[in-house]
Homo-oligomer: A and B are copies of this chain.
Amino acid sequence: MGQRERGLIGGMQQDHVIVAAGEDIVSQGERSRNLYSVCCGWAVRYQMLRDGSRQILDVVLPGDPVALASVMLGASMHSVQALTPACFCTLNGRKVVALFQVNAKLALAVLRSRLEEECRTDIRLTMLGRMGAEERVGYFLIETFERLRQRGMTNGTTCRFPLRRVDIADAVGLSRVHLMRALRELRSQALVELNGGDMIVPRAARLAAYTGYTKVATSIGSDVRM
């Protein structure tokens, strides 16, 4: 994507919204015409079930778009909640879609980034359907760690990690108690350690091997992440 397209998107930014930790910026079922982009802070996409349980679909990091489906499809099937105080920049959804209709390169770049997400989602499906507790947790952690590393948000073997235990449990489909058991096991094998709000991965390659994680090519940096 060239300077020109980046400028087009940049020029459409309307506002910055600050959201407190724990608050939703998008709600399941909502018909919003606003498109957001995480500017700083962490968030999660999630769904609630009838019985009150929650599934975290994905961790949303700075640079990731939020509510694209809501804008293009008319309604959002998931909520998005800030985990830390977070700042979102707002774009006019209608205008962005209009821009897509004119600028094929831009639409294509977004399509490509969606397809990359799709790959990650497929693997998460496999993880939930077919892996045991330790593998699931380890996989989720190394995947997030690698995403952070690609964005320069790690410090060698350490990074910020503001998810609570419940959040991790809801992301990997385990109960909070069983998640603790899995974490204990992973720590005892020196694969990952969570402490305060930090994650420590002494040997990323070892954790990757343990969980079956393999790096997937991304277009971060060379591509749009509105």
List residues 78-100 of chain A with CB under 8 A from any CB of chain B. 78, 97, 100
Q: Chain A residues in contact with chain B, CB under 8 A?
A: 45, 47, 49-50, 53-55, 57, 68-69, 72-75, 77-78, 97, 100-105, 107-108, 110-112, 114-119, 121-126, 128-131, 170, 172-173, 212, 216-217
**A55 & B129 in contact (Cβ 8 Å cutoff):** yes
Of the A-B pairs whose beta carbons lie under 8 Å apart in the complex, a sample of 8, sorted by A's number, is: A49-B126, A53-B130, A55-B130, A57-B126, A77-B216, A102-B104, A128-B128, A129-B170
Closest to A173 in B: B129
Contacting pair B118 A69 (CB below 8 A): yes
B112 touches A110 (CB 8 A): no
Q: How far is the CA of A53 from the CA of B172 in the complex (A)?
A: 19
Q: Which of B57, B75, B115, B123 is the one whose CB lies under 8 Å from A114? A: B115
- A77-B122 CB under 8 A given contacts A104-B101, A107-B107: yes
Q: Which residue on B lies nearest to A109, using beta carbons?
A: B107
Q: Are A121 and B123 in contact (CB under 8 A)?
A: no
The residue of chain B having its C-beta at the shortest distance from the C-beta of A50 within the complex is: B212
Contact of A118 among B74, B121, B126 (CB under 8 A): B121
For the complex of A and B, list the 3 residue pairs with the smallest distance between their C-beta atoms, beginning with the closest. A129-B173, A104-B104, A128-B128
State the CA gap A47–B97 with chains docked (Å): 34
A115 and B72 contact, CB distance less than 8 A? yes
Contacts A105-B101, A123-B77, A126-B57 given; does A115 touch B173 at CB 8 Å: no
CB of A57 within 8 A of CB of B122, answer yes
A47 touches B123 (CB 8 A): yes
Which of B50, B72, B116, B170 sits near A111, CB closer than 8 Å? B72
Given contacts A111-B107, A129-B128, A129-B172, contact A121 B121 (CB under 8 A): yes
- Contact residues in B for A101 (Cβ distance below 8 Å): 104-105, 108
